[in-house]
């Protein structure tokens, strides 16, 4: 697949690197430093390059939206609205100092993004784990019991693309249902972040859902 990375910070840089290592074509974009984007592309191998958000979105099978909530409008302007594009968002609707969600319970960042980019095919994914765990999940992707990763969306085809990428990174994709479920998964991330950054076991943390045999009836 050809994947555009819109926001090449902690999440975008790591996920883009992993997507490239998994064999996808990746375009890193939306950093304040062109040099950083070029280095990320070099370090990620021959299938990666650096570009503008518009270049990253052009002909992309999927884009990853990985910017601070305050940058969303600017990003969409630069990327060109993302019409018909599968847009996987890990961006949480946090306030300026990242201390609280500014959208929650009755809506979500993913749903607000869908309103801002009504022709994009939005999937909420990757936002429920800290960036610190991504490389180790990828390195251990051949293990039997993979960590789970929740995703949600309203477009079945876009969700299949997201599930493939989630699986390529090394997680077990768990379909949490329609996009509105992001209003529950986004706050869940704050509980994960509390464990990751305030707990005493470090931030390289993932989670796993298990169904007991009895649940099948
Ligand atoms: N970090 C995590 O563990 C984590 C986990 C779950 C969800 N999330 C969510 O994922 C999204 C991305 O998080 P992140 O930690 O990857 O963010 P980040 O490290 O701050 O990366 C954001 C990217 O946006 C770029 N950017 C371009 N113009 C900018 C400007 N004017 N001001 C600030 N940044 C600008 C940054 O550029 P530079 O390259 O120049 O910095 C960077 O590449 C956020 O919505 C966050 O809530 C993060």
Q: Residue 30 Cα, ligand 1 centroid: separation in angstroms?
A: 9
Q: Residue 91 Cα, ligand 1 centroid: separation in angstroms?
A: 8
Residues in the chain: 217
Q: What is the DSSP string of 13-58?
A: HHHHHHHHHTT-EEEEE--S-HHHHHHHHHHH-TTEEE--HHHHHT
With the most atoms of ligand 1 within 8 angstroms of its CB, the residue from 27, 28, 32 to mutate is 32
Output the pLDDT for position 214: 81
- The b/e string for 98-118 (b: 16+ C-beta within 10 A; e otherwise) is eeebebbeebbbbbbbbeebe
With the most atoms of ligand 1 within 8 angstroms of its CB, the residue from 66, 73, 133, 136 to mutate is 66
Q: Alpha-carbon distance 44 to 65, whole Å?
A: 19
Output the pLDDT for position 99: 95
Output the pLDDT for position 217: 60
Atom of ligand 1 nearest to the CA of 94: 47
Output the pLDDT for position 206: 98
Q: Alpha-carbon distance 123 to 160, whole Å?
A: 10
Q: What is the pLDDT of residues 27-65, one digit of tens each?
A: 999 999 999 999 999 999 999 999 999 999 999 999 999
Detail the DSSP E strand segments found in 30-176: 48-50, 62-65, 86-89, 121-124, 148-153, 172-175
Please give the model's pTM, rounded to 2 decimal places: 0.98
Q: Is 127 in the pocket of ligand 1 (CB under 6 A)?
A: yes
């Amino acid at each position: 697949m050809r994947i555009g990375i819109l926001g090449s910070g902690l999440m975008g840089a790591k996920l883009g690197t992993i997507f490239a290592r998994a064999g996808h074509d990746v375009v890193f974009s939306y950093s304040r430093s062109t040099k950083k984007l070029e280095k990320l592309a070099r370090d990620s191998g021959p299938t990666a390059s650096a570009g503008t958000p518009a270049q990253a979105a052009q002909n992309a099978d999927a884009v990853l939206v990985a910017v601070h909530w305050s940058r969303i409008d600017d990003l969409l302007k630069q990327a060109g609205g993302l019409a018909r594009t599968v847009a996987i968002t890990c961006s949480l609707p946090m306030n300026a100092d990242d201390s609280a969600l500014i959208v929650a319970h009755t809506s979500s960042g993913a749903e607000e993004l869908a309103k801002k980019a009504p022709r994009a095919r939005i999937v909420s994914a990757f936002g429920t784990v800290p960036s610190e765990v991504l490389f180790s999940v990828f390195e251990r992707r051949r293990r039997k019991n993979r960590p789970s990763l929740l995703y949600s969306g309203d477009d079945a085809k876009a969700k299949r693309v997201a599930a493939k990428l989630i699986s390529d990174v090394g997680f077990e994709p768990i379909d949490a249902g329609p996009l509105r479920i992001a209003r529950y998964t986004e706050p869940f991330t704050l509980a994960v972040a509390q464990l990751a950054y305030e707990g005493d076991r470090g931030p390289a943390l993932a989670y796993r859902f298990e169904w007991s045999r009895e649940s099948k009836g």
